[in-house]
């Protein structure tokens, strides 16, 4: 049972805003057992939207649309859908009640624009939006269903979870996807593919495998589709066997399972072992701490971090001795070690991570090209520093450094067990 996702908006089409809605929607509906066949982005243009809707409902029985529902003049989806179904707009009393509740709850007067949000095509069924002023609209079509919802990310997420998926589940019977993510670090995609070729060729045909390289890490994803409970447990055991047989080939590169990112694994391991962490960052500019705090619950293990972008901060806040900075420079092994030790002491943490390097595009020095990065881990067992030579642009260099350090940390923490 496949779906097409259509995201409407000039800002998405022209790339001013990255289309994260498509990713979030796809994950949510795939998790619920629906397939995703295609996602499309079109601008705020009636002909383009109409063509996309028309093609999509021919292609898949479920068409999910976001965007173009705001009250401003460039938002035209609602009018177009009314026209498409030969219907007309009317003020829906349930939708009006919601809009009124939200606007007055904010202590604001209802404007004409707010009121317009409650107008919907007569032929649609309103799926009430509890968290925003634009209603979600469900249209029955001879070929399937077309569902239109606002593009505001948290409203879309709330609607998909609480309204769209439950209503789809009543209408269509679906299976589910059994999946396993294997996070691999320390080997590139090509080399990994060579290394595990025999394993891949021997996989049962029910299993799909995908390589997802992300900033120096490869996520290997095994998936299988199941339509019944007994099929689900069969697919689960096929996947378990495949995971077990991968271990002898690639075990030393495997950092973890069942996570999308290394920071999820760091959360899980440190929380489970009641260990605390601090970070001292130079070239990664706060990315270590930002990625960890982007997930809820970081305060359980994260003491905090220092971003020491200047030598002054390295010296004052992290107690990196001035003569180390003078003799060896900011991008050096003694500096990164002193940073890790300094922040661990200051924050009174079990583990500390540190980075100092040249992320570019400027800042290269004689013998220290862009991509020269020192990383270190400090704990009561001692300090380990590593020198990385990374290629690419600023952001990939930062992301790879952080991924490498998270993988190093996970290996350190596990060696305790």
Within 219-258, the residues that bind its own copies by CB under 8 A are 219, 221
The reply to whether 198 sits near its own copies by the rule CB under 8 A is no
R_g (Cα) of the chain, nearest Å: 26
The answer to whether residues 150 and 72 touch, using CB atoms and an 8 Å cutoff, is no
Binding residue for its own copies, selected from 347, 354, 408, 409, defined by CB under 8 A = 347
The reply to whether 207 sits near its own copies by the rule CB under 8 A is no
b/e sequence 43-72, b meaning 16+ C-beta within 10 Å: bbbeeebeebbeebbebbbbbbbbbbbbee
Binding residue for its own copies, selected from 69, 126, 159, 307, defined by CB under 8 A = 307
Within 388-417, the residues that bind its own copies by CB under 8 A are 392-396, 398
Binding residue for its own copies, selected from 286, 321, 334, 369, defined by CB under 8 A = 286
Residues in a beta bridge with 225: 177
Residue 7-26 contact track with its own copies, rule CB under 8 A, x = bound: ---xxxxxxxxxxx-xxxxx
DSSP H/E element including 224 = strand 217-226
The reply to whether 384 sits near its own copies by the rule CB under 8 A is no
How far apart, in whole angstroms, are the C-alpha atoms of residue 123 and residue 73?
23
Q: How near is the Cβ of 401 to its own copies at its closest, in Å?
A: 12
How far apart, in whole angstroms, are the C-alpha atoms of residue 71 and residue 161?
24
Tokens of 339: 């940073």
Q: How many CA atoms lie within 13 A of 288 on its CB side?
A: 32
Within 118-177, the residues that bind its own copies by CB under 8 A are 133, 152-154
The reply to whether 275 sits near its own copies by the rule CB under 8 A is no
Residue closer to its own copies (CB basis): 61 or 304: 304
With vertex at residue 225, the alpha carbon angle to CA 219 and CA 230, rounded to the nearest 5 degrees, is: 120
Interface stretch with its own copies, choices 119-127, 163-171, 202-210, 230-238 (CB under 8 A):
202-210
Q: How near is the Cβ of 273 to its own copies at its closest, in Å?
A: 18
How far apart, in whole angstroms, are the C-alpha atoms of residue 118 and residue 266?
45
Residue closer to its own copies (CB basis): 209 or 249: 209
Q: How near is the Cβ of 344 to its own copies at its closest, in Å?
A: 12
Within 168-187, the residues that bind its own copies by CB under 8 A are none
Which residues have C-beta within 8 Å of that of residue 80, sequence separation ≥ 6?
46, 49, 50, 68
Which residues have C-beta within 8 Å of that of residue 51, sequence separation ≥ 6?
42
The reply to whether 199 sits near its own copies by the rule CB under 8 A is no
The reply to whether 1 sits near its own copies by the rule CB under 8 A is no
The reply to whether 63 sits near its own copies by the rule CB under 8 A is no
Closest CA to 213 of 190, 195, 196, 197: 190
Binding residue for its own copies, selected from 303, 344, 400, 404, defined by CB under 8 A = 303
How far apart, in whole angstroms, are the C-alpha atoms of residue 134 and residue 67?
10
The reply to whether 44 sits near its own copies by the rule CB under 8 A is yes
The reply to whether 96 sits near its own copies by the rule CB under 8 A is no
How far apart, in whole angstroms, are the C-alpha atoms of residue 159 and residue 381?
49
The reply to whether 189 sits near its own copies by the rule CB under 8 A is yes
Residues in a beta bridge with 188: none
Binding residue for its own copies, selected from 86, 198, 248, 361, defined by CB under 8 A = 361
Residue closer to its own copies (CB basis): 18 or 97: 18
Interface stretch with its own copies, choices 137-145, 298-306, 333-341, 404-412 (CB under 8 A):
298-306
């Amino acid at each position: 049972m496949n779906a097409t996702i259509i995201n409407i908006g000039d800002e998405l089409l022209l790339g001013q805003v990255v289309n994260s809605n498509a990713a979030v929607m796809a994950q949510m509906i795939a998790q619920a057992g629906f397939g995703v066949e295609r996602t499309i982005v079109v601008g705020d243009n009636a002909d383009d939207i109409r063509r996309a809707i028309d093609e999509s409902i021919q292609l898949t029985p479920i068409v999910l649309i976001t965007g173009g529902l705001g009250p401003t003049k460039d938002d035209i989806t609602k009018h177009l859908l009314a026209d498409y179904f030969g219907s007309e707009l009317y003020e829906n009393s349930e939708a009006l009640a919601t809009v009124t509740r939200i606007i007055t709850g904010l202590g604001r007067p209802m404007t004409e624009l707010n009121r317009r949000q409650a107008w919907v095509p007569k032929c649609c069924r309103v799926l009430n939006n509890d968290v925003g002023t634009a209603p979600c609209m469900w249209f029955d079509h001879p070929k399937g269903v077309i569902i239109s919802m606002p593009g505001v990310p948290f409203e879309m997420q709330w609607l998909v979870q609480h309204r769209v998926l439950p209503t789809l589940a009543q209408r269509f019977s679906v299976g589910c996807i059994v999946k396993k993510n294997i996070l691999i670090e320390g080997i590139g995609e090509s080399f990994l593919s060579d290394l595990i070729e025999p394993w891949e060729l021997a996989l049962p045909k029910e299993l799909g495998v995908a390589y997802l390289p992300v900033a120096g890490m490869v996520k290997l994803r095994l998936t299988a589709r199941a339509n019944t409970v007994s099929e689900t447990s069969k697919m689960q055991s096929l996947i378990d066997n495949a995971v077990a047989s991968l271990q002898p080939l690639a075990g030393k590169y495997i950092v973890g399972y069942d996570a999308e990112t290394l920071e999820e694994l760091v959360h899980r391991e440190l929380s489970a072992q009641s260990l605390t962490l601090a970070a001292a960052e130079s070239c990664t500019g706060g990315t270590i701490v930002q990625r960890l705090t982007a997930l809820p619950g970081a305060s359980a293990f994260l003491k905090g971090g220092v971003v020491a972008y200047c030598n002054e901060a390295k010296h004052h806040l992290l107690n990196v001795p001035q003569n180390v900075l003078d003799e060896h420079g900011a991008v050096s092994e003694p500096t990164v070690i002193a940073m890790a030790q300094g922040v661990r002491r200051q924050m009174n943490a079990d583990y500390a991570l540190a980075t100092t390097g040249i992320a570019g595009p400027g800042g290269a020095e004689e013998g220290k090209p862009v991509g020269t990065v020192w990383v270190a881990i400090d704990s009561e067992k001692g300090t380990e520093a590593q020198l990385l030579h990374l290629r690419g642009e600023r952001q990939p260099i930062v992301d790879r450094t952080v991924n490498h350090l998270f993988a190093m940390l996970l290996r350190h923490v596990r060696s305790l067990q």
